[in-house]
Amino acid sequence: MPISPFEDRYKTEMNAIFEEEKKLKRWMDVEIALAKVHAKMGTIPKEAVKQIEGGAGKVKSERVKEIEAEIHHDLMAMVKALSEQSGDASKYVHLGATSYDIEDTATALIFLDAIKTLDSRLETLGDVLRDLAIKHKKTVCIGRTHGQHAVPTTYGMKFAIYYQELSRNRERLEEAKKRIGVGKMSGATGTMATFGTKGMEIQAAVMKELGLEPAKVSNQVIQRDRHAEVLCDLALTAALLEKIAKEIRNLQRSEIIEVSEPFGKKQVGSSTMPQKRNPHKCERVCSLARLVRANVQTAIENIALEHERDLTNSANERAIFGESFICVDYMALEMTKILQGLEFFPENIEENLNLTHGLIMSERLMIALTEKGMGRQEAHELVRELAQKAFREKKDLKMLVKEKKLLPDKELEIIFDPHTYIGCAEKIVEEAVKD
């Protein structure tokens, strides 16, 4: 029975990339690449490569675990299992390599697979955000700063901001591929001593075989700043997903209720309060974002290994690498579904626009007064006093301005119409999502 929720509850296509079977295969891919390079250089017979490749297809994970239980070394357990299936070529398996030549190089391949899979998911999410931005570029709503009503904006602006941030996150992950897509074949302390004078040539050839870049310098491991960078990028993506989820949660509050995450016909909101429509899917996204961020700290602490390496990174990396990718992939999948089914309440959007009885148009009123010749500071103070009076006495700001006869009534009708005070919002949205 699964213990981790990422094995069932939050499972996605990403799980297959980090399963033990896939890791074992990637380890053997590196062993085969090393054997091919040895054969090309005449270090081992060419026939040995076919034997090792054939052997790799016969290795069972159960046998690897059986050997590991005896020798307490997972990589060497794979080497022994592969050797058992490679016949006369067994003596050439793992020739000149150390464990993390294989493991870290395989990890680079796994990370590249994971980034590709996640980017496909994020691309779909981006399409949904783009569609929402365009659809709602004219949906005027109240903007909020410091939790207070500010001036009007549009829902298209909200979604365009998310779309652009998502694009930057995708760019970061794409750029990180250059630094994570690196392998090594440099031995116990990085000197390549086991390969003699051909060390750099062998490393370059193995990495070319695998589609990776060779590390310019390493010790026993690929340096962990590379992995920490990717987990930081995942955390940034998770933070965006949390930002969207938090906005939906706040806008779904009973006092606001402008939008709502989808709610199924038979869905239950509470075990005791039948009326509840809790935004639990968005809350789940926010909860998981905390986990992804926490893993970043662990990844950063893994950078400072002792001397040429110690093993303090190994155990936690078995958890944080796969967990972080699966978690963000699930969050992106969940957020895509939420946004696809997002429910809007136009009447509440309109009601909230008028909730403060014209106070949100104070800025526009101030600007109109300056255009009539009043000094900016004088106009600001006058409007501030009127706005505070309207607030205290629960009066309509427009009526107080009319009493002062500051501007013609026709102009005031325009000034206090929030739908006509969104500046370049429509054009901003179109520009933000046109790529």
Catalytic positions are: 146, 270
* 231 residue type, one letter: L
Question: For the chain, how many residues are written?
Answer: 435
- 8 Å CB contact between 248 and 259: yes
Secondary structure class of 153 (helix, strand, coil): strand
**Long-range contacts of the stretch 282-287 (C-beta < 8 A, 24+):** 282/245, 282/246, 282/248, 282/249, 282/252, 282/338, 283/245, 283/249, 284/334, 285/241, 285/242, 285/244, 285/245, 285/331, 285/334, 285/335, 285/338, 286/242, 286/245, 286/246, 286/249
Q: Cα–Cα distance between 340 and 377 in angstroms, integer?
A: 46
Q: Cα–Cα distance between 134 and 158 in angstroms, integer?
A: 11
- 8 Å CB contact between 150 and 142: yes
- 8 Å CB contact between 74 and 68: yes
Helical (H) or strand (E) element with 259: strand 259-260
